[in-house]
Amino acid sequence: MDNKKKNIHPTNRPMDHQQIKPYKKDSDYSYTLGAFPTYELIMARPNIVRKVLVHSAYTDIDKIKELCKEKYIPIENNDKIITKISDKENCYVAGVFDKFDCELSYDKPHIVLVNPSNMGNLGTILRSAVGFGIKDIAIILPGADVFNPKTVRSSMGALFRLNHHRYTSFEEYRQQFDQHEIFTFMLNGEHTLTLQDCPKPKLFSLVFGNEATGLDDSYLGVGTSIVIPQSPDVDSLNLTIAVGIGAYVFTNLK
């Protein structure tokens, strides 16, 4: 098989203008809105890209044209469609991609998000996770839509560089990954997280609750409950900050 044929993906099919509509959760495709996440999409998962749209005001057109040519991805100048699908006035590049399924790794650490509700926060968490080298994310439903363009944009394309999987319950996740040591992050956790005293498991799952409610007390009996030390002047840390701290400490163990 020659290189040209090998790089063409069967779902890389043309889309007419009538098909391209503002995002809906039940659709089988989504968008990257902005140049950087679109480049990340193309570099990380070129096989799921249906089309790249470019606005006439975009100044680095030659670079993205060359990349799309290299990856055998259709590219189109279309100001009208970009304006139609984007709620940002300064969006000059958009990628149309197929939604994709992933399986989590059995031999890698995980971050588990229980009912995350904010799409912007979810995207930021994905970006932080990749930054700290944790590339397997479990989402316990109900939860924010990982493919919503707001999530994709907040992740700055990190979505395309990790594995994510959605579970109907924490029990379903736990049954599949019973070799991972569980650490639940809670305001009333029994163990204080410090760099000096952090556990050093070979496999671990860091579990975080909803932005508003956190994890309920039933999670105190699941694995090891952890509290991040903080000033008494605030009620709790923002979820994205808590995940960042947890991921940093557990991935920087000596």
Q: 103-132: per-residue pLDDT in tens?
A: 999 999 999 999 999 999 999 999 999 999
> Rounded to an integer, what distance in angstroms lies between the CA atom of residue 207 and that of residue 113?
6
Beta-carbon contacts of residue 178 (< 8 Å; ≥ 6 apart): none
The predicted structure's pLDDT at residue 252: 80
Among 159, 149, 166, 162, residue whose Cα is nearest residue 27? 149
pLDDT band at 16 (very low <50, low <70, confident <90, very high): low
> Rounded to an integer, what distance in angstroms lies between the CA atom of residue 152 and that of residue 130?
14
Mean pLDDT of 15-42: 86
Mean pLDDT of 83-104: 90
pLDDT band at 82 (very low <50, low <70, confident <90, very high): very high
pLDDT band at 33 (very low <50, low <70, confident <90, very high): very high
pLDDT band at 8 (very low <50, low <70, confident <90, very high): very low
> Rounded to an integer, what distance in angstroms lies between the CA atom of residue 160 and that of residue 40?
7
pLDDT band at 1 (very low <50, low <70, confident <90, very high): very low
Q: Does the pLDDT value for residue 86 go beyond 60? A: yes
Mean pLDDT of 189-201: 69
pLDDT band at 21 (very low <50, low <70, confident <90, very high): confident
> Rounded to an integer, what distance in angstroms lies between the CA atom of residue 211 and that of residue 228?
15
∠199-188-133 over CA atoms, to 5°? 40
Please name every residue paired with 76 in a beta bridge, in sequence order, or none if there are none: 53
Per the model's pLDDT, the better-predicted residue between 49 and 1 turns out to be 49
